[in-house]
Amino acid sequence: MGQEDGQKLYKKEKTKMLLNPKKLNKTYPDKETEEIMTKTIDFFENLGLAKTNEDYYSARWYTEFLDFLKEEEIMAKLLTPAGYGENARWDTSRIVEFAEILGFYGLTYWYCFQVSALGLGPIWIGKNEAVKTKAAKLLKEGKIFGFGLSEKEHGADIYSTSMQLHPQEDGTYKAKGNKYYIGNGNEAAMISTFGKMADTGDYVFFVVDSQHENYECVKNVVYNQDYVAEYALHDYPITEADITDKGREAWDSSLNTINIMKFNLGWASIGICEHAFYEAIDHASNRNLFGKYVTDFTHIRQLFVDSYCRLFAMKTFALRATDYMRSASENDRRYLLFNPMVKMKVTTQGEEVINHLWDIIAAKGFEKDTYFSNAAIDIRALPKLEGTVHVNMALIIKFMPNYFFNPGEFPEIPKRDDPCNDDFLFNQGATKGLGKTKFHDYNIVYGKYDLPNINIFKKQIESFKEFMMVSFESMEAQSKDIDFLLNVGELFSLVAYGQLILENKEIYDINEDIIEQIFDFMIRDFSKFSLQVYSKTNATKQQQDICLKMIQRPVVDEARYNRVWENHVYAMKGTYEMNP
């Protein structure tokens, strides 16, 4: 198949998966959603790469972007749930697409949107209708929001929060304390602030205004376009009208907010990698060294194929995880596994994609007039925000027993891009009992495929199940070794990753060559983490033997590999370049 045929095939598949802002070719469920996406793309393309880079390196506050959001009422349209605005809906499918587009053009723009969404979480989850009504009004006015959770001395250890509400004789309160690393802390109209009642020690969530005289914006703790604030409340007056939740409900509100919003980090990573890939393939395919184009070198093709397949897998998984997020209910909490995986697995895969692309373009990746120079910095942030990889891995480990040994029965979840409000997200309930969560049998979708690499991967899964069965007694002590636990968790996450990718193969009719090439790197990753566990000093002899069984080699299929390169990877050459 020639390059011209490859370009045609790529264009057909492109409409289903990787983002090309200049060729969306997508059917939206309604006109409003289409306009949000297309107008946002037009805004950035009209701004141009030179302007976005200039603003990025000068750390200039993004006034034009905020003016655009206000003029088009985009925050109000995307972040107002049903019941609090005309035709309002909190629709995860369009929120994540918007997050992807912002990541594509610059993580700083995404960050402003992301922390606004975080700040709104405790408001929409809480019981204070007056605060909700006020938030909806402020959204309509184009205001931004903040999420005051972390503190300088305690970080994400919210058990130890030192922000306090002090009761006054007249029934009001005075807030005293500092918060640290709080996005939009310079201009947010409402900052949801987490603290404790000074008299009882009960947790509490309340809202403050960054422009109030008792609010001190101490400084921006980073050198960036974003404003990541340290702020202090000096006897800030609070009434019951400002409180959204108290006690256990305030605690649950903090974690449930993160449950919802950390999902967007994976989508920012996807957007960053997509834009970086276009720059890398264009640079490499047009650069001639030693009488050969860079893309003719064998190792360069391997890096590109791996990058493409990892990126394709990131988005395929995240799209399917979105379906589970939108379909969540009191009786279906499978999203509690897939959600942190989008935050953890997708963002770390994003780092790997950028690492591969940077190995390809080398010094070009440092040049200040490229998007890539921003991407190489910003991609590092996403695994470290909204809970580190370690925190999220410790979370998903709790799901392993039921996932592998005690599956439940659930109705099949369809593709969820329908225009409706995701009601359950703000009614998740108590944040406990994760180990009781049930999942449908992963064998259902794996059993549908009889392809060489998928079959090898299924053997690895069976060996991993054997590993777990012989580890019941030793695992309690071994789990105190966080590195051991993380590598076991990586093996688990690969199984769930492959499961959702295969579910979306059916939904999106993904080419089998792509699927087999994805499982090529997944077999290698499974082998890598198996070797890590094998090498741990506290691994038992039985565990070591099984780990050696898990180390497998993908099937070599040169014809398939060449088809992926020619028809999918190299076919991206010249298909997108941001306006100068």
Indicate whether 5 pLDDT > 70. Answer: no
Q: Which of 472, 524, 24, 7 is nearest to 274 (CA)?
A: 24
> Sorting pLDDT into bands at 50, 70 and 90, what band is 3?
very low
User: Angle at CA 131, nearest 5°, toward 130 and 134?
Assistant: 90
User: Phi/psi class of residue 233: alpha, beta or left (left: φ > 0; alpha: ψ in -120 to 50)?
Assistant: beta
Joined together, the tokens standing for residue 360 give: 């390809």
**What is the enclosing helix (H) or strand (E) of 42?**
helix 31-47
Query: Is the pLDDT reported for residue 231 higher than 70?
Result: yes
pLDDT of 240 reads: 97
Give the tokens for residue 208. Answer: 């403050």
pTM: 0.95
Q: Which of 453, 436, 451 is nearest to 527 (CA)?
A: 453
**Contact residues for 451 (Cβ-Cβ < 8 A; gap 6+):** 512, 515, 516, 519
Q: Which of 193, 159, 165, 197 is nearest to 179 (CA)?
A: 193
Taking the C-alpha atoms of residue 176 and residue 195, their distance in angstroms, rounded to an integer, is 9
Structure-token pair, residue 377 = 């910095």
CA distance 513 to 518: 9
Q: What is the pLDDT of residue 16?
A: 60
CA 261 from centre of chain: 8
Does residue 345 have a pLDDT over 80? yes
Band the pLDDT of 7: cuts 50, 70, 90: very low
Helix, strand, or coil here: 379?
coil
Please state the rounded mean pLDDT for residues 289-295. Answer: 93
Whole-angstrom Cα distance, residue 291 to residue 164?
68
pLDDT digits (tens, 9 = 90+) for 273-288: 999 999 999 999 999 9
pLDDT at 268 over 60: yes
Residue range 39-89, pLDDT digits in tens: 999 999 999 999 999 999 999 999 999 999 999 999 999 999 999 998 899
pLDDT, average across residues 373-378: 97
Instruction: Report the pLDDT value the prediction gives residue 433, as an integer from 0 to 100.
Output: 75
Segment 249-259 shows an average pLDDT of 94
pLDDT tens per residue across span 94-112: 999 999 999 999 999 999 9
Mean pLDDT of 528-544: 96
Q: What is the per-residue pLDDT across 115-171, written as a single tens digit (0 to 9) for each?
A: 999 999 999 999 999 999 999 999 999 999 999 999 999 887 888 899 999 999 999
Q: What is the rounded CA–CA span in Å between residue 349 and residue 368?
A: 24
Average pLDDT (305-329) is: 98
Instruction: Give the pLDDT confidence of 448-488 residue by residue, as tens digits.
Output: 999 999 999 999 999 999 999 999 888 888 888 888 989 99
Beta strands 190-197; 203-208: pairing state? antiparallel
The predicted structure's pLDDT at residue 155: 80
Residues 6+ apart with CB under 8 A from 296: none
Q: How many whole angstroms separate alpha carbon 577 and alpha carbon 506?
A: 31
* CB-based contact 180:233 (threshold 8 Å): no
- pLDDT tier for residue 1 given thresholds of 50, 70 and 90: very low
Structure token pair of residue 371:
């998007």
> Does residue 476 come out as left (phi exceeding 0), alpha (psi in the -120 to 50 range) or beta?
alpha
Structure-block tokens of residue 140: 């309509």
Taken in order of first residue, the domains within the chain and their CATH numbers are 146-248 (2.40.110.10), 262-416+426-571 (1.20.140.10)
Asked if residues 567 and 6 have their Cβ atoms less than 8 Å apart, the reply is yes
- Amino acid, res. 532: Q
* Confidence (pLDDT) at 387: 65
Rounded Cα distance between 433 and 258, Å, is 17
High-pLDDT (> 70) share of the chain, %? 97
- Decide: helix, strand or coil at residue 220: strand
And the tokens for 493?
A: 């996450």
Which DSSP symbol is given to 482?
H
Answer yes or no: are the C-beta atoms of 339 and 72 closer than 8 Å: no
Cα–Cα–Cα angle for 80, 85, 88, rounded to 5 degrees: 55
Q: Is there a contact between 104 and 272 (Cβ–Cβ < 8 Å)?
A: yes
CB 488 within 8 A of CB 397: yes
b/e 409-420 (16+ beta carbons within 10 angstroms → b)? eeeebebbbeee
Q: Tokens representing 357?
A: 């692309």
User: For residues 504 and 321, what is the distance between their CA atoms, to the nearest angstrom?
Assistant: 10
